[in-house]
Amino acid sequence: MAYFQKIRQICDEKGILLILDEVQVGMGRTGRWWGYENLGIEPDIFTSAKGLGGGIPIGALMCKSFCDVFEPGNHASTFGGNPFACGVALAVCQTLERENILNNVQQRGEQLRNSLQAIASQYPDLIAEVRGWGLINGMELKPDVELTSIDLVNAAIAQGVLLVPAGPKVVRFVPPLIVTEAEVNQACEAVACALKNG
């Protein structure tokens, strides 16, 4: 947080635009609409894609009015901004709001981190840290152990849970924003089994 506040301050002092990439941390992933809301700053420009279309390809760039300089035709994209994709993005936004999905992200995220933390405390020699926001979380393995993120991902797959490696020592947990309490429990039990067996 202090890092981003410092970046914001430097950008303000030097008249530099601050552009943040919200493709992965935006659209409710962290339990707030945009990831930067966790940082106590505002960017001048930010990007969105992936989750914005809920599976339909779309990308977007949002900016403050003072730096709104793009005219139609300035920035080309083969499928960008077509009416169908925009209609889908609007429906995704409305659904997130209507079904109070951000609330689910906050609650399930807390549940997930608490459960992973409990697992981590059972394996203090293997697991260095559990960290994250909402439903984007990482479990970091100790640097000096043999177990890598790929090993743990493969062991979890054998237990029926799909995780993603994020670097050699971090395993990522990015479940759907509509994940249920029972599913989080099930996934954490599978991770505990994977650690026990692997």
Interacting residues with ligand PLP between 112 and 151 (CB under 6 A): none
Nearer to ligand PLP, 20 or 184 (CB): 20
Least spacing, CB of residue 194 vs ligand PLP, in Å: 26
Our finding on whether 49 is near ligand PLP (CB under 6 A) is: yes
Element (H, E) at 173: strand 170-173
Our finding on whether 80 is near ligand PLP (CB under 6 A) is: no
Among 21, 42, 68, 97, binds ligand PLP (CB under 6 A): 21
Nearer to ligand PLP, 6 or 75 (CB): 75
Among 19, 32, 50, 151, binds ligand PLP (CB under 6 A): 50
Among 20, 23, 102, 105, binds ligand PLP (CB under 6 A): 23
Residue 108 and residue 135 in contact, taking contact as beta carbons nearer than 8 Å: yes
Residue 136 and residue 25 in contact, taking contact as beta carbons nearer than 8 Å: yes
Nearer to ligand PLP, 24 or 107 (CB): 24
Residue 148 and residue 169 in contact, taking contact as beta carbons nearer than 8 Å: yes
Q: What is the CA radius of gyration of the chain?
A: 19
Alpha helix (H) residue ranges in the chain:
2-14, 83-98, 101-122, 149-158, 181-197
DSSP letter for each residue of 20-47: EE-TTTTTTTTSSSSGGGGTT---SEEE
Binding site for ligand PLP (CB under 6 A): 21, 23-24, 49-50, 59
